[in-house]
Every structure is written in C-alpha cells, then in structure tokens.
Amino acid sequence: MATVHSATYDLLRNQGLTTVFGNPGSNELPFLRNFPEDFSYILGLHEGVVLGMADGFALASGKTTLVNLHAAAGTGNAMGALTNAWYSHSPLVLTAGQQARAMVGVESMLTNVDAVQLPRPLVKWSYEPACAEDVPRALSQAIHTANLPARGPVYLSIPHDDWAREVSDDSALLAQREVCSSGQPSAQQLARLAQRLNDAKNPILVLGPDVDAYQANALAVALAERLCMPVWVAPSAPRCPFPTRHSSFRGVLPAAIAGISARLEGHDLVLVVGAPVFRYHQYAPGTYLPAGAQLIHLTCDAQEAARAPMGDAWVGDIHATLDALLPLIEQQQRPQPKALPSPQAVAQPAPQENGADWMAPQTLFDLINELAPEDAIYVKESTSTVTAFWQRVEMRHPGSYFFPAAGGLGFGLPAAVGVQLAQPDRRVIGIIGDGSANYAISALWSAAQYRVPAIFIILKNGTYGALRWFSRLLDAEDSPGLDVPGLDFCALARGYGVRALEASSPEAFTEAFSQALGMQEPVLIEVATTTIEP
C-alpha cells in the first residue's frame, strides 16, 4: 500500500516539481529520506537564499517550484524574500516541516505554532492537513492553487510523522490531475474594448511584468505599432515587457502619483496591461490621471483590478486577451513615435583620494551592453542605478530582466542562481549593489557547489545609494546607518568558492567581463563605482 511519502513523490514527479530548493531541519528529514534519484535538491545556507533561488527559478522557467523550509524559524527567515515572490506572481509551493502531531499541543521545540497564520498575507493559500491521509490531496491543491491565475506562492505545514502513514489507492488519482485556466473577456467585451481603443485620438500604452510572464511581449509590440502608441513600463518594474530599443519605448514610469500623471499628460486614453494601477513608492500626491484622460486596465489579477483607484478593468489571461483583441484593432494613420536619442557617454571620474580608480555606473552599463550576449538575462538589484540601466542596456527578448518586485533586498544574488538553473542556454548577469549583496551573500556558496555559471557584478560605492537619495528627499541626511564601508567582495566570494576579479577602470572591466563570459563557472566581479540618483 502507498504511503504519504511515496504518494507525494509520485504527485510531484507527475506535476513536474522535481527540483527542490531547501535548507533542511529535523522536521524535514522524514520527507527527504530516500530522496529519488530523478529529483534535484538545491541547498541554500539561509532560507532567504533558498526562497530567492526558487523565486528566480520559477520566474525564469514559468513553472511551479517546490520550496522546503524548516518549521516556523525557517519560514520566518524566508518571509522577506516571500514579499518579492508575492508581488511578482511567482508560483511557489512552500512546504514546512511541523513537529510530530502528538507534540504540537504542548508546543514542543520546533512546533510551528499557528502555522497556517504565519505566512499570511503573503500567500494565496495556507493550510495544515487535519490528518496524515490528507497530505497528498492538500499538496495537490497547493500545486494547482499556485499555478492558477493570478499565480502566487502557497504554504503547507506538514507534521513530520505523517510521511510513513499509509494512504488509500485513490491517492494515485491526484498525480494524473490537470487543472487549466483559459479565461478571457467575452466577444462583446472585446468588441467594446477595441472600439474604445480605435476611437482614441492619442492613446498611450503602459506595460507591466505579467506581459513578460505570459510571453505576450510580441503581441504588445504589435498593439503599440497598430495604434501608434508610445510605450511606458509600469513603475518599479520587476520584468521587461517591451524591447528597450523600439521606437515606441519611453522608459519606466516614476513610482509617484504626480510623476505618473505628468508623464501621461496630453493622452486621452491610457491602456495598462499586466501591471497594477499603479505600484507607487515615493510620496508625491497629485491627481491619479491628467485632465481628460481615461484608463483601461487589462490584468490577470482580480485583486489588482478591484483595488485600482481609477479606470475600467478587464480580468483575464494576458496573452489570450491580447491575441483575441489584436484582430479587432484598426491600423491607425498617426505617425509612429520617434525613438529616444541614445544616451551620451559619461566621462571617467577622477581617481579617488587614495589614487584608486572608480567608474560611473553609466559607463559600466555601456560596456555590459556592448560585451554581453544578445540574449543575456539580467538580474538586477542595484536600486540607485535603475534609470541608468534601462536607458543604456538593450533588452529585446522575453525573460531578459528580473528585479525584486516588492523592493525587498536580498533578491539579486540568489535569484541569479535560480534563473541560471532554469535557463542554462542563456547567460545570466547579476548586477548587484554592495548594500543589497550582503542580505544574501551565502548564495555564492550554492552557485559554487552546483557550478552555476552566473556572473555577479557588484557595484561597490560604500553606501546605500537609493537610501542616500531618499535622505535628501525627506530632509534626513543626518540619519545613521547609510554607509557600508570596509567590504571586500572578492575575499567573500573566494571564501565561498567563487572565482573573483576586481575591475575599476573600463579597460580592466572589459578584460574581466570577457574572461568571465568565457568560463563555465560562477564569477564575481567587484567594481568600484560612483553614486548616482535612481
């Protein structure tokens, strides 16, 4: 007769969840016992790294991904990274080991007290099975819930003495289940939407991460060209949904009410696809929309549609909706938008007081754009250089850019490892600030152990650059804790087993980056850079 353990692995195998990201504790060992040879276990040295790697893997593969955490403490360690996964619609199944059932009531060591409440509100569903026999069914529900629109993480707490219990033969039915979603607006709704777009005099398109997640990038290009629209990327962009050298591309909207309204001035219709309306950050109050503008919102997330403060919303599959809408859109005779001018080169800054060289981030990005493979994937977590990066680095393929969706630091290093594992045929380049890198520095160990050939470029300016900018904005420049001096990332990398290079001039970086691109192992390049505004 099947056990919870055997039924679970059959279910995971049939649903394609054969890569497990984890950091085990005693509660998890009964699940990992007799780990199947056709499964892969990716160990992270901290649960924040574990979740970050899994997040990157899920985002880059588009597949539901399994995470194995250790009880309440491990879940707590992963919560910071979970904020990014929640806002990026990452389909993660988080499992956490629970104390034996007989020990839960007395709150023995390693009991996950009130386990179901612990990860909320950052999961779609949270559950602890009432009995051992319900574990396979609950895991099946978790997998399908994570993958149904809007995708997102789910959480399952499993007592460690459940795994050896027998289950009925009916549990085999779970492994064969397929749960599909194909929602899109009705024909009448699409016709009404198309009419409004065709009648618009000066429409503008704003694209979000779900365009890239649903691989609807080419459809978005076709829509922009047919309606002759300029295209902005929604604020705080965690993905790149539109080719950055296309003549319609205008950049990333600022994450402020007044700033967005100013960019939309003069347009009578704003079409937002695959993004919340809107993810604000900086407090700059104003009107949500400029005078005379209407907004239409196409989203896969009913909650995003419901909470938007303005506009009309259509909820459905992003790819299917755009695919059905395009034949109804008339080719407009307005002039196509003109491409933005190429950014100017930046002069190399003077040497530092100690005679050492440093580089302007703009120069670094120009070199990366020149030298990197055309289909490179960028995992970015240098928040103070976002605008410069989008202006200078060309991204033309789907799945070319990942950034922490909630702004939670510690995403970049582990996500780069996970993305590279999911996309072995494309080169992953992590561009990480020195402040951000230390939140998850132990991800370098995982990269070394599994020989993940990602390139980690550390922008070292000795300060929290974005925080420095906010301190001026909020008149708080005398705040403590804004600088992070004395870091040696080359030494840290070598300590974790990663090859490390230092490069602080254009010539030295060109040599180091070219060398890294020729290797099939992880490489870290530390670059001393100036501080610029986001």
- The answer to whether 70 is a known catalytic residue is yes
Q: Which member of 5, 6, 46, 47 is catalytic?
A: 47
Which H/E stretch holds residue 223? helix 217-227
Q: Which member of 46, 70, 144, 246 is catalytic?
A: 70
Q: Could you tell me which of 242, 253, 245 has the C-alpha nearest to residue 398?
A: 242
Q: 302, 168 in Cβ contact below 8 A?
A: no
Q: Which member of 6, 22, 28, 80 is catalytic?
A: 28
Q: 386, 534 in Cβ contact below 8 A?
A: yes
Q: Which member of 26, 168, 181, 514 is catalytic?
A: 26
C-alpha distances in Å from residue 115, one per residue of 11, 74, 91, 98:
23, 12, 20, 8
Distance CA 514, CA 523 (A): 11
Distance CA 195, CA 54 (A): 42
Distance CA 269, CA 128 (A): 47
Distance CA 200, CA 181 (A): 32
C-alpha distances in Å from residue 125, one per residue of 56, 292, 304, 400:
21, 41, 17, 30
C-alpha distances in Å from residue 278, one per residue of 11, 236, 305, 484:
38, 10, 11, 32
Q: Which member of 25, 44, 152, 410 is catalytic?
A: 25
CB-CB neighbours of 341 under 10 Å: 6
Burial class (CB in 10 A: 0-12, 13-18, 19+), 451: exposed
Q: Which member of 48, 56, 407, 410 is catalytic?
A: 407
- The answer to whether 26 is a known catalytic residue is yes
Q: 75, 30 in Cβ contact below 8 A?
A: no
- The answer to whether 281 is a known catalytic residue is yes
Q: Which member of 281, 397, 502, 533 is catalytic?
A: 281
- The answer to whether 47 is a known catalytic residue is yes
Q: DSSP 3-state helix, strand, coil percentages of the chain (rounded to 5)?
A: 40, 15, 45
- The answer to whether 251 is a known catalytic residue is no
Burial class (CB in 10 A: 0-12, 13-18, 19+), 323: middle
Which residues are marked as active site?
25-26, 28, 47, 70, 281, 407
